[in-house]
Amino acid sequence: MCGFPIVQLDRYLKILVQREKRFVAMCEEFPQQSEGSKTFQRRVTRIVTPGTLIDESFLNPLSNNFLLALAPSGYTASNSQSVGLAWIDVSTGECFSEHCAFENLQDEIARISPSEIVLPLTFRDSQTHSIIASLASPQCLVSFTSAASELPVVHSIHPQEVEANAILVTFLKENLREHMPRLTFPLQEDTGKRMQIDVHTINGLEIRESGYEGGTRGSLLSTIKRAVTCGGSRLLSRWLCTFFLSFRNMHRLITSCSRFAQHRYQ
């Protein structure tokens, strides 16, 4: 065990949570009056994880810090046919949900780019499950939580999306505790009107990161970004990976990529 000054808390939180992918329990003291003497009670008020960071100093101004929950079809060791997804940026409160075929899961994870992925606790010992093998490549932390015993009945969304939202809310309550935000109803993403962009296309077009120089410098995002606030930069980054299938938007995409290539290689 070791200690450090409280003024260095942000520095060590960044090292432990973001770089080392550790969970950090924040324990605070609360004064209590008992028999004329003042005592203190300690309790854990928050558990900081990579996907539940809400401090602006830790967040990347160019991308959302998404926490993604997955609800595969069936909690057995067999292959899943479909997967329910629910993800949230705790710092902004934006929450989304959808369901996709299992073969498209890695492409969806690359598009969402979560900092942490949450699975039901039953998958911790199911290393042979197909979804565990599919999550071996993404560079993000995989966590586990107990699934909600009673799921709310919502007829407007897919049952696996409801299950994924229940897993997401359970994980947030377990870790944010007294800092739990007020959640809104998740927005459904219409995959039928969106041009699917796989992980190889995102990397090949260098939309968010540059493969030659590394980081965002030289990418399409850094070239066209004119956002004033950090929230606007995160929104632009998400838009660039969520194109809608129409002739006008496809023309804009091709024109932007052509200008980006000319600007970079001239």
Q: What is the pLDDT of residues 14-41, one digit of tens each?
A: 889 988 889 999 888 888 877 777 788 8
The owner of tokens 């023309």 is 251
Which structure tokens are listed for 13? 């939180």
**Comparing 190 with 17, which gets the higher pLDDT?**
17
- Nearest partner of 68 among 47, 93, 91, 95, judged by Cα: 95
Q: What φ, ψ does residue 143 adopt, rounded to 5°? A: -115, 170
Q: Are 211 and 180 in contact (CB under 8 A)?
A: no
Contact between residue 237 and residue 63 where contact means Cβ atoms under 8 Å apart: yes
| Domain range annotation of the chain | 56-188, 192-265
Which residues contact residue 42 at a Cβ distance below 8 angstroms, ignoring those fewer than 6 apart? 27, 28, 29, 30
pTM: 0.73
- Lowest-confidence range among 116-130, 157-171, 191-205? 191-205
| Overall average pLDDT of the 100-125 stretch | 87
- Give the highest mean pLDDT range of 60-69, 130-139, 179-188, 212-221: 60-69
CA gap 42, 29 in Å, rounded = 5
Backbone φ/ψ region at 24: left (φ over 0), alpha (ψ -120 to 50), beta: beta
What are the two backbone dihedrals, phi and then psi, of residue 156, each rounded to the nearest 5 degrees?
-85, -15
Over 90: is that where the pLDDT of 85 sits? yes
Range 152-158 average pLDDT: 65
Q: Above 80 in pLDDT, residue 10?
A: yes
Q: What pLDDT is stored for residue 110 in this prediction?
A: 82
Q: What is the CATH architecture assignment of 192-265?
A: Orthogonal Bundle (1.10)
> Of 191 and 219, which is predicted with more confidence?
219
Smallest Cα–Cα separation from 95: which of 160, 177, 165?
Answer: 165
CB atoms within 10 A of CB 119: 25
The per-residue pLDDT for 91 is 80
Average pLDDT of 215-236? 76
Looking at the domain 56-188, which fold is it?
Nucleotidyltransferase; domain 5 (3.30.420)
Give residue 245's pLDDT band: very low, low, confident or very high (50, 70, 90): very low
Q: Which helix (H) or strand (E) holds 248?
A: helix 247-265
Helix (H, G, I), strand (E, B) or coil at 27: strand
Q: Tell me, what's the pLDDT at 247?
A: 42
User: In the prediction, which pLDDT does 171 show?
Assistant: 94
**83 and 75 Cβ atoms separated by less than 8 Å:** no
pLDDT band, residue 123 (cuts 50/70/90): confident
pLDDT value at 242 more than 70: no
For residue 183, the 8-state DSSP code is P
Residue 168 has pLDDT above 90, yes or no: yes
User: Looking at residue 76, what is its pLDDT?
Assistant: 47
**CB within 8 A of 72, min separation 6: which ones?**
80, 82, 83, 84, 102, 123, 129, 131
Looking at residue 174, its pLDDT comes to: 92
Phi, psi angles (nearest 5°) of residue 205 = -80, -10
Indicate whether 88 pLDDT > 70: yes
Classify burial at 230, counting beta carbons within 10 Å of its beta carbon; exposed 0-12, middle 13-18, buried 19 or more: middle
The answer to whether 71 and 83 are in contact (CB under 8 A) is yes
> Mean pLDDT throughout 46-61?
83
Summary mean pLDDT of the chain: 77
